[in-house]
Copies of this chain bind each other. A is one copy, B any other.
């Protein structure tokens, strides 16, 4: 038995002990934990119990598990600054490409943008049936039969980090635009194809666990916390023209909005935190 009796599960008490060791610096940031069999022996519990504790701490972004290598204390996460116009409140994830989250992974001197970065089309699935499609239809004030949909993935630093789904009203899109593999900014492309300018109507933020398909596209385990950012853009006369739903790998970065002019005081956000 790890410690004494209590009504809280063994694996949770174990998780707390491991967390304490991380907080206390017994397991410093970046260091490797003892292997599962070792922890299993030290605490006198089954390896599966160890795994359950470690899995919780991994989902809480405290630990990082590297298969075949070991389990490590996660170093603080990076923040990604996003330029925001204080008046229009405009910001776009496209600007992230420039302030890349250095993933501590690039082996060579690939300090900047990695080959293969950017947004690419992954599919243009038929609209109808799914709950997501129904919702998009409601947001745009159309029936699902009037909508077209495009799904894309944005790669940053060589890894997929954002999954996007776009719904637009009024019929099919140009085949070239939705060809899987086509690169380029989809919002600009859609606005261009429609020949209109787009304004924000509303935006929503949320957090959700990755579903099976998003998990696969992002290369993360299902249930990984994702930042969801969705909303509707309209034409200047107020007609809804685009519904976007982005799912952003939460482990990779934090997105920062600045409300004051640069240099107006304040310090700006730091670059570290878990």
Residues of A within 8 A of B (CB): 12, 15-16, 19, 23, 55-62, 76, 79, 86-87, 89, 129-132, 135, 138-141, 199-212, 215, 221-232, 234, 237-240, 248, 250-251, 253-260, 264-270, 272-274
Contacts and interface: CB of A to CB of B under 8 A. Distances in A.
Contacts of A210: 60
A71 to B, nearest CB: 15
Nearest to A239: B265
A234 B224 CA distance: 34
**A-B pairs with lowest CB-CB distance, top 5:** A238-B265, A59-B223, A207-B250, A225-B225, A206-B254
Total copies of the chain? 2
B209 A227 contact: no
Contact of A86 (B55, B89, B205): B89
A149 to B, nearest CB: 15
B60 A222 contact: yes
A127 B258 CA distance: 26
